[in-house]
Structure 1
Amino acid sequence: MKLWPGLQNSYVIGVVSLVLVLGSVNVNVKVVGSRVGNELNSIQYPAISCRKHSAVLTDFGGVGDGKTSNTKAFRSAISSLSKYASDGGAQLIVPPGKWLTGPFNLTSHFTLFLQQDAVILASQDESEWPNLPPLPSYGRGRDAPNGRFGSLISGTHLTDVVITGKNGTIDGQGSYWWNKFHKGQLKLTRPYLIEIMYSDQIQISYLTLLNSPTWFVHPIYSSNIIIQGLNIIAPVDSPNTDGINPDSCSNIRIQDCYIVSGDDCIAVKSGWDEYGIRFGRPTQHLIIRKVTCVSPDSAMVALGSEMSGGIEDVRVEDLTAINTQSAIRIKTAIGRGGYVKNIFVRRLILKTMKYVFWITGTYGSHPDPGYDPKALPVVTGINYRDIVATNVTYSARLEGISNDPFTEICISNTSIQVSEQRKKLQWNCTNVAGITSNVTPDPCELLPNKGQFECPFPNDILPIDNVQFKTCNLLY
């Protein structure tokens, strides 16, 4: 079976009009055909799959005044367009305007396209948000034990889904939820902005995402995912506004993103304690490339702390962090089980950091008392090279677990310039083992210098890196 099986891309400029009836609404669904139709505008965009059919949100009664609810319009549009899944797929165009909406679900072989100056605004009417049970790999909600609210844009058991645009905006209007979180008023976990579950062949690209109630982009139990060209922005003091969180997923490519966050810019996860161990689905074969992060209180890339299903084969390269707490942080604890192994990092530029290297074996929040205290995580094969860091407070804080040391840590070709507020103990190392080469300041004794060498970085190409975008036409 081919990765990203594509539809035939036989598009030419032209339109054949079809009229659908949805209730009392007349809907014009445009089909790319062989006749010239100069009365329509056409733009091109890159995507994993192109679509044969096209409609505009206003065809379904959408009103872009920022006040009128468009929840029914989005749901009706997607329901209507889902019938084209087996006939070349469909794209829903969100035109310029402010489109207030509650949550809606996507469909397979479908593109949601936001034009320039299109803004989707998340409703702050809590009654519009469905209540969902906890995720099976978590066992409870993160904010509260009873479950969670549905996400603004979501989909389950889908194939071939694209969420993209010409830098249109999705605004989660998260202040309502942040206030309730700070006041301890939440009985369910806050919504995510975009969540795709149990799905395959996903693209999320070329959009601005603002002010999510909590995590912004959360693919979970899914595979073959490309996240590219996103601007993700939240106040740096907003609670748990992680940028991109691949969770129990495989074959993922994240690149060319700019993230300002109140939490980790990218957080790689795979389930929480006994629930993640039981679910047993790792995150693996992940590429993170050309990302810029600003997060004063958190990490550029975090691995964990929910990593009980395992994290393996993560390749991080060409990242920049500015005024960020740490670069690549590994977070785990007794009771997590699972593993973090075969992590490869190269070519980081770090400016104004508290820590360059931070590995924590005592990140001990648990979903409930049912975790196994004998479930020890395995952390091994952690490789860093070609790092330049300036204005740094601590070079490293590396804390393994007693009787469970973190091993095979490799650091090479790293230059750290400490700040005027430098701490005397630059390398704080316990229960770790590894080697270093050409690292300044001098590392701790547990990471001895072993001469001139480079830490490994894989030469093979992951299948997700072979995926090429098609050039698609948008007719409106």
Structure 2
Amino acid sequence: MVETLTSSPSIWRFNHRRWIPNLSSSYKTLFAFLWIVVFTSLFIWQRNFVDGLSIFRRPLLVRPLPRLRPVAFNLTDFGAVGDGVTVNTLAFEKAVFAISKLGKKGGGQLNVPAGKWLTAPFNLTSYMTLFLAEGAVILGLDDEKFWPLMPPLPSYGYGREHPGPRYGSLIHGENLKDVVITGNNGTIDGQGQTWWKKYRQKLLNHTRGPLVQIMYSSDILISNITLRDSPFWTLHPYDCKNVTIRNMTILAPLFEAPNTDGIDPDSCEDMVIEDSYISVGDDAIAIKSGWDQYGVAYGRPSKNILIRNLVVRSMVSAGISIGSEMSGGISNVTVENVLVWNSRRAVRIKTAAGRGAYIRDITYRNLTFENVRVGIIIKTDYNEHPDSGFDPKAFPVIRGISYSSIHGEGVRVPVRIHGSADIRVRNVTFRDMSVGITYKKKHIFQCAYVNGRVIGSIFPKPCENLDLYDEQGRLVKKSVSENASDIDYDI
């Protein structure tokens, strides 16, 4: 058709004295003309339809693609065997060592081909790309004897589950720059079932290790792979800068897979998490920054974090959490375009006396809740501490929390904001909220020690702690008291 149109440019010349008679006398020309009209109409309709769909998407930040490495190796070059039985730790170590010599030349890429590559934990190096081909599975040995012990994280002062050392991660990195973990949807599998069982039976003497942990590093990209069945937290960037995590699938059983958080940014800044699916046995995402007096002393906040375009599920904990370990401070976080489905809680902020620091300037927008028990939670009595050395008068500051375009159905309690006399929740804003509820009695919008405002009409009816404004920002009704308490944990 393109050739026909190109070879007959006279079709496009509009000479009505000659063209109309020719058209009426030529059946073929009339058919061609009608075909062009129909095709053009269809094209315009399709373009308008696609443009209409774009209202459901927000423009993505454009980040440069990582540079291709000048040298690439295959894991089999170092003697690895992908039969799921042979232990390939030495092959991974040799490959990483070879790449570590190439930093000044731009680094190297390690290709992991299809197969099941059993290994104990190993470390990454700077200027490295770890690429998992389709069908490639890195399997973690499930015997803790093969997992090295590491000192506790400095901002925790404790192994998190036990005093003293903790197990390292299956894939680990410290003080790195320019690291890429990607692939064609290959998998890193922690084989966590044995770990979970031993944890429940209290047979472990040290804190379980994450699946992937990158510490004190910058310029990290993790994309296009599946992470599953971590012994503990799945993906743990710790004290890192400029981290992008996208196009990920993160999985663990919804029950009896304790503490298998999906992604835990911890004392990180300048970070994007996007375009991913997470269904795990604890929080899908939990932003942290240290625990009590240890986090205060370490003093590294989590800040400038964007979380968007996710589908998440958590039957045990929450879809997106902030805290409870937040003693270095957490600020400037945006959570947008997120669906939380079939979960216990949707979005939660949790802290306690003894944490200190702050949670501030947090924006939630365009969230959808589908069949969740509690939609929005702010909890200030999450009293879990590493030891007795915390300051009980170190009260965190919570302020500047915004919720807009919140929708959903099948929600039992849409909002539960539980401040206290010592930890008041300040400057909370709700706008454009309509959540279908399954519990028709009172206490469906619960508040205590909170101030803020509601702009325009929202459903369900907000608590009386909040000022009411119309869409033009004019005060309609002043709150009765920010201290009024209407919390019912029985529903």
Per the normalisation by structure 2, the TM-score is 0.82
CA displacement at 1:453 relative to structure 2: 5.6
Q: Which has the higher strand share?
A: 1
Tell me if structure 2 keeps the 8 A contact 1:174–1:212. Answer: yes
Match of 1:298 in 2: 317
Between the aligned partners of 1:302 and 1:250, the Cα distance in structure 2 is 17
Question: 2:42 is matched with which residue?
Answer: none
- Of 207, 210, 227, 1:192 maps to 210
Q: Which residue of 2 aligns with 1:13?
A: none
Q: 1:326 to 1:181 in 2, by over 3 A?
A: same
Q: Report matched runs for 1:112-127 at 5 Å.
A: 112-127=130-145
The letter of the residue matching 2:77 is D
The whole-number CA distance in structure 2 between the counterparts of 1:411 and 1:155 is: 41
Q: Aligned partners of 2:65 and 2:388: how far apart in 1?
A: 45
Q: Deviations over 1:100-143 (max 9, x none)?
A: 00100000000000000000000012221000110000010112
Structure with greater helix percent: 2
* Residues 34-57 of structure 1, C-alpha deviations (whole Å, 9 max, x = no match): xxxxxxxxxxxx942320000000
Alignment match of 1:308 (pick from 327, 343, 355) = 327
- Correspondence for 1:416 among 435, 454, 457: 435
After superposition, the C-alpha distances for 1:373-431 in whole angstroms (9 at most, x for unaligned) are: 11000000000100111001112111112133110000110001001x44531122111
Asked whether 1:358 is paired with 2:358, we answer: no
Separation in 2 of the partners of 1:347 and 1:397?
A: 19
SS at match of 1:439: coil
Q: Describe how 1:392-431 pairs up with structure 2 within 5 A.
A: 392-419=411-438, 421-431=439-449
Are 2:185 and 1:146 aligned? no
In structure 1, C-alpha distance between the alignment counterparts of 2:472 and 2:446, rounded to whole Å: 23
Q: CA separation in 2, counterparts of 1:453 and 1:93?
A: 57
SS at match of 2:467: coil
Match of 1:178 in 2: 196
**Cα-to-partner distance string for 1:435-472 (whole Å, 9 max, x where unaligned):** 11221111100123211169xxxxxxxxxxxxxxxxxx
Aligned equivalent of 2:120, options 102, 106, 130: 102
In structure 1, what is the Cα distance between the partners aligned to 2:125 and 2:203?
Answer: 33
Q: Distance in 1 between matches of 2:316 and 2:469?
A: 34
CA contact (8 A) 1:270 1:307 kept: yes
Q: Is the 8 A contact 2:380 2:423 kept in 1?
A: no
Instruction: Give the 4+ runs in structure 1 shifted more than 2 A.
Output: 46-49, 421-424
Q: Which segments of 5 or more consecutive residues in structure 2 lack a partner in the other structure?
A: 1-63, 474-491
Q: Partner amino acid for 1:339?
A: Y
Amino acid at match of 2:378: I
Give the distance between the partners of 2:184 and 2:360, measured in 1 at CA. 37
1-structure distance, mates of 2:277, 2:65:
20
Q: What is the rounded CA distance, in whole Å, between the counterparts of 2:315 and 2:300 in structure 1? A: 31
Equivalent residue of 1:440, what SS? coil
Tell me what 2:363 maps to: 344
Alignment partners' CA distance in 2, 1:453 and 1:412: 12
State the partner residue of 1:243. 262
Paired residues, number = 408
1:209-224 map, 5 Å: 209-224=227-242
> What CA distance in whole angstroms lies between the structure 2 residues aligned with 1:56 and 1:166?
15
- 1:57-82 Cα shifts (integer Å, max 9, x gaps): 00001000000000111011101111
8 Å contact from structure 1 (residues 394, 422) kept in 2: no
Provide the rounded CA distance (Å) in 1 between the counterparts of 2:270 and 2:317.
25
Aligned partner of 2:16 in structure 1 is: none
Counterpart code for 2:244: I
Normalised by the length of structure 1, the TM-score is 0.84
Q: Is the 8 A contact 1:392 1:422 kept in 2?
A: no
- Could you say which residue in structure 1 is the equivalent of 2:150? 132
Q: Match of 1:99, as an amino acid? A: W
Structure 1 Cα separation of the partners of residues 218 and 138 of structure 2: 25
Code of the residue aligned with 2:84 in structure 1: it is G
> Take 1:102 and 1:53, find their aligned partners in 2: how far apart are those partners?
25
Is there any run of 5+ residues in structure 1 with no aligned partner, and where?
Answer: 1-45, 455-476
> How far apart in 2 are the matches of 1:339 and 1:180?
36
In structure 2, how many angstroms separate the alpha carbons of the residues matched to 1:453 and 1:99?
61
Relative contact order, CA 8 A, sep 6+: which one is greater? 1
